[in-house]
């Protein structure tokens, strides 16, 4: 998140804090389909749009999967290569989640 503009980092940070305490910020929206279980934050600054994807699937953790400046000028959808990256990180984190809870227990 360090590469994001300060106002966007601030808003995303507040949204992630709310997620940590069990609430949903107004800018958070759940994804559907293959990325069900992932939430998206969207913010704008200086004419650019920024997005952050995170999950709450592991108890006690807010896992940020991907953050970037949206570059595509056509459509609001997620480019295929980014969707695959987020899906791969999500799947990996869910697999790690089981081993994290076994270590803690």
Q: Measured between alpha carbons, how far is 24 from 2 in angstroms, rounded to an integer?
A: 22
pTM for the model: 0.85
Q: Phi and psi (nearest 5°) for 16?
A: -70, -35
As given in the structure block, the two tokens for residue 101 are 């809870």
Q: With 60 as the cut, is the pLDDT of residue 104 above it? A: no
Residue 100 CB coordination number (10 Å): 14
Beta bridge partners of 67: 52
How would you class 38 by CB atoms within 10 Å of its CB: exposed for 0-12, middle for 13-18, buried for 19 or more? buried
Q: Give pLDDT tens digits for 25-80.
A: 999 999 998 899 999 999 999 999 999 999 998 888 899 999 988 876 666 678 88
Structure confidence at residue 67 (pLDDT): 92
Residue spans per domain, the chain: 6-104
Within the chain, strands assigned E span 28-30, 38-45, 48-55, 63-70
């Amino acid at each position: 998140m360090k590469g994001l503009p300060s106002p966007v980092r601030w808003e995303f940070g507040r949204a992630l804090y709310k997620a940590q305490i069990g609430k949903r910020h107004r800018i958070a929206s759940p994804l559907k389909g293959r990325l069900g279980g992932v939430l998206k934050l969207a913010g704008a600054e200086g004419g650019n749009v920024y997005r952050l994807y995170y999950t709450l699937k592991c108890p006690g953790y807010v896992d940020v999967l991907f953050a970037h400046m949206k570059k595509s000028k056509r459509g609001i959808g997620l480019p295929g290569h980014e969707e695959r990256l987020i899906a791969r990180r999500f799947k990996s984190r869910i697999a790690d989640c089981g081993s994290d809870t076994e270590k803690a227990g």
